[in-house]
A and B are shown apart, each in its own frame.
Chain A
Amino acid sequence: MNLLYHGRRITGVLTVVPQKVSNFDDEAVNYSFPIEKTLRLKSLMGFKEHRIVDDGTCVSDLCVYGLQYLFDQGLVLPQDIDALVLVTQSPDYFMPPTSNVIQGRLGLKEDMICLDVNQGCAAFEVGLFIAFSLLDQESIHKVAMLNAEVLSRKVSKQDRNSFPLIGDAASITLVEKDFDQSPIYANIMMDGSKREALMIPAGGFRLPCSQDTAIPHDDGTGNLRSLENLRMNGQDVFNFVMEKVPPMISSLLDQSGKRLDDVNYFLFHQPNKFMLEKLAEKLGVSYKKMPSNIVERFGNSSGVTIPTNICYNIGERVLNEEFIVCFAGFGSGLTWSSILMKIGNMKFCKMIEF
Chain B
Amino acid sequence: MEKFYDKLAEILEVDSVEPQDDVSSFENWDSLGTLAILAMIDSTYNVRISSQEMKNVKKVKDLENLVSSKMLN
Contacts and interface: CB of A to CB of B under 8 A. Distances in A.
Interface of A: 37, 40-41, 44, 161, 221, 233-236, 238-239, 242-243, 274, 278, 281-282
A278 B39 contact: yes
A221 B51 CA distance: 12
Closest 7 pairs (CB-CB, A-B)? A235-B51, A239-B48, A242-B42, A236-B51, A278-B39, A243-B48, A221-B31
A278 B54 CA distance: 20
Contacts of B30: 37, 221
A282 B46 CA distance: 10
A240 to B, nearest CB: 8
Contacts, number: 43
Contacts of B39: 238, 242, 274, 278
Contact of B48 (A234, A242, A274): A242
B65 to A, nearest CB: 18
B35 interface: yes
A235 B35 contact: yes
Contacts of A238: 35, 38-39
A198 to B, nearest CB: 13
Given A236-B51, A242-B48, A278 B42 contact: yes
A5 to B, nearest CB: 33
B38 A235 contact: yes
B38 A239 contact: yes
A137 B49 CA distance: 47
Given A37-B32, A236-B51, 10 more contacts: A44-B35, A235-B31, A238-B35, A238-B39, A239-B49, A239-B50, A239-B51, A242-B42, A243-B48, A278-B43
B42 A44 contact: no
A299 B39 CA distance: 22
B31 A234 contact: yes
Given A44-B32, A234-B35, A235-B35, A282 B43 contact: yes
B32 A41 contact: yes
A235 to B, nearest CB: 4
B58 to A, nearest CB: 16
Nearest to A240: B48
B32 A235 contact: no
Task: Specify which of B30, B31, B34, B48 lies most central, judged by the most chain A CB atoms within 10 Å of its CB.
Answer: B31
Contacts of B43: 278, 281-282
23 contacts: A37-B30, A37-B32, A40-B32, A41-B32, A44-B32, A44-B36, A234-B31, A235-B31, A235-B34, A235-B51, A235-B54, A236-B50, A236-B51, A238-B35, A238-B38, A239-B38, A239-B48, A239-B50, A242-B42, A274-B39, A278-B39, A278-B43, A282-B42
Nearest to B37: A235
A243 B36 CA distance: 16
A285 B62 CA distance: 33
Contact of B51 (A37, A41, A233, A274): A233
B73 to A, nearest CB: 13
